[in-house]
Amino acid sequence: MQEPILIVDDDEAFGLVVQRALTRRGFSVVLCHSLTAAEAACAQQVFFKAIVDLKIAQDSGLRLIRLLKAANPAMAIIMLTGYSSISTAVEAIKLGALNYFCKPIEIDDVLKAFADSYVPSEDLVSISAPSFSVPSLERVEWEHIQKALQDCQGNISAAARLLGMHRRTLQRKLFKRPVAR
């Protein structure tokens, strides 16, 4: 088994998928669905890698990055989100996240980001700022529509009013498949 990875995501199904994918690749994984559970896990075990969701129930993954970095400054943290924005990406990187990815993501991309974070000691002088992927405008629109629909408990008419568009227009947009990135 390789070193343990902490996963913090309130979406239980997504967390289980990531946990299974990492376990199949030989990693030991601790899955938490809240900030308090993550803090408790860090009190029991030392983690050097973490995958953190931006929005964890009513809490913020940005707050968790601060807590994780305070517990272990050497921890490599990848932030995932279904609601990406440039401001949260910049904030996550400033707080110490290695990278910021939009969901859904291939687990190999996450592992590559962790692998790319290894810097031999003689190369410490030439470290550049970490990169993050910015979603396309179409992807951001689709995610915004999904968030509005979720906030309206699936009511298309209410979501259309919230978004300021006609119900039929919203239905046409929902019928389209989401853009990958």
List the CATH number of the domain containing 89: 3.40.50.2300
* Residues 117 and 87 grouped into a single domain: yes
Residue type present at position 43: A
Residue bearing the bigger pLDDT, 123 or 8 = 8
Give 19's contacts (C-beta < 8 A, 6+ positions apart).
7, 29, 31
Using the 3D structure, point to which of 126, 145, 164 is the last residue of a domain.
126
* Residues 65 and 106 grouped into a single domain: yes
If you write DSSP's letter for every residue of 30-90 in order, what string do you get? EEESSHHHHHHHHHHS--SEEEEESEETTEEHHHHHHHHHHH-TT-EEEEEESS--HHHHH
Residue whose C-alpha is closest to residue 163's, from 174, 149, 180, 181: 149
Cα separation, 99 vs 95, in Å, equals 11
* Residues 90 and 10 grouped into a single domain: yes
Residue 65 structure tokens: 């990055």
**Domain assignment of residue 170, given as a range:** 137-175
List, for residues 32-69, the tens digit of each pLDDT value.
999 889 989 988 988 889 999 998 888 888 999 998 99
Per-residue pLDDT at 32:
92
The pLDDT mean for the chain works out to: 83
Asked whether residue 70 is assigned to any structural domain, the reply reads yes
How many separate domains does the chain show? 2
Domain CATH number, residue 146: 1.10.10.60
Residue type present at position 111: L
List, for residues 66-111, the tens digit of each pLDDT value.
989 988 888 899 999 888 788 888 888 899 898 888 887 888 888 8
Residue whose C-alpha is closest to residue 31's, from 59, 60, 54, 53: 53
